[in-house]
Amino acid sequence: MTTPVPGTDSRDLALAAPAKGAIPARSGQQVQDQRRGPRGAGRGVLRVGAAVAVPFRWRPVVLALVLFVLLCLAVVVSLSLGTPYVAPVDVVRSLSGAGTPYDLVVRDLRLPRAVLAAVAGAAFGVAGTLIQSVARNPLASPDVIGVTQGAGLAPTIALTSGAAAVLVAPAALLGGLAAAVLVFALGARHGLAAQRFVLAGVAVAFAFRALIEVVMLTADPIDGLRAQIWLIGTLAGKGWSEAAWIAGTLAVLLPVLLWAGWALRSSTLDDDTARGIGLRPVARRIGLAGTGVLAAAMVTAQVGAVDFVALVAPQVARRLARTERPPLLCAALLGALLLVLADLGARRLLAPTQLPAGVLTAAIGGPYLIFVLLRTRGRRS
């Protein structure tokens, strides 16, 4: 039995378990990757001492660095634009603690919201990557499989029934987790198979969405409007507290996310091949999906149902990195970048009126879905 080495992808794992009767390669024969040329091209090995060697691909590493730089630039621009306008140089000086007349505007008024947008976008990117990897479907995301709808139903009931504001976020978290449990229960047969998992999620999403509409139609108009704004997803009036909850969740999940980054390397293998090389595919799917659901439920509880970030970020990151599966770190950075830019647009497009960030992300997600459909149709033809 072959033990998988961290850093290998699904083709490497499949090659590690040759079929019966296969003729071994001759000595010195070079193994070729039909799509990427010689095996090992574009890869490197990080050596820690003499005993530890961690293989990696250069392109995702470079992409992560580029996305991080773009994210920092987007945050500086977000802190600069507004009334009053703050020059980027003054923004950097204020953040470095040099002291400027704009410290109140930059550090107290705008920075908390920008940080919240970054950590929330990163959490959406992580959640979308894990759920899409389990579903093996680029259109699967928390807002497609019912988690977002579950996290929206509970706060809708809370907001329209006069409950205290402090109960909205816990209600959303519990609602999202309850929806996930229901999806897992419906899709658990046959080892949480990808197709059954997606169908169960879509069914739960439609059911919960119908319940949300019933609650809003029977609610007071003012309470219904408050619930509608929350359901669209907005960062207005939020800051350090919400960012701390999301960042704390990601920090607690960090060991699991490190494992998930390795486990994703075998997510494209079928169950028989995975078992043949010593993996436990069902346990892995449950672990990956559970982690993604928890991240999605927490971020939705804090900022509302910001759609399409979890859908778009993983697949764009995968295409930019040219990998079989979405790179977890790149998807997180791209999700952060998308939400920072979406929140900036929501603040400035119709200033002084502020749009919910979810309106801008939906505007991004619509054309993306059309692009995916046209690309899929082109491949079939």
Nearest alpha carbon to residue 289 among 380, 184, 190: 184
Which CATH number is 272's domain given? Answer: 1.10.3470.10
pTM of the model: 0.80
Quickly list DSSP for 174-232: HHHHHHHHHHHHHH-HHHH-HHHHHHHHHHHHHHHHHHHHHHHHTS-HHHHHHHHHHHH
Instruction: Kindly report the backbone phi and psi dihedral angles of residue 172, in degrees, each rounded to the nearest multiple of 5, phi listed first.
Output: -65, -40
At 202-237, the pLDDT tens digits run: 888 899 999 998 998 888 888 888 888 888 888 888
Collapse the DSSP code of 335 into the 3-class scheme (helix H, G, I; strand E, B; otherwise coil) and give the result. Answer: helix
Say if 88 falls within a structural domain. yes
Question: Which residues are 38's β-sheet partners?
Answer: 32
At 3-22, the pLDDT tens digits run: 444 444 544 444 444 444 44
Say if 26 falls within a structural domain. no
Nearest alpha carbon to residue 117 among 296, 341, 310, 375: 341
Say if 240 falls within a structural domain. yes
Length of the chain equals 381
At 94-139, the pLDDT tens digits run: 998 888 888 899 999 999 999 999 999 999 999 999 888 887 777 7
Nearest alpha carbon to residue 339 among 226, 258, 243: 243
Q: Domain range for residue 100? A: 54-371
Say if 43 falls within a structural domain. no
Say if 265 falls within a structural domain. yes
CA 130 to chain centre: 7
Say if 139 falls within a structural domain. yes
Say if 35 falls within a structural domain. no
Domain total in the chain = 1
Nearest alpha carbon to residue 220 among 167, 154, 162: 162
Say if 38 falls within a structural domain. no
Lowest mean pLDDT among 47-51, 79-83, 199-203, 258-262: 47-51
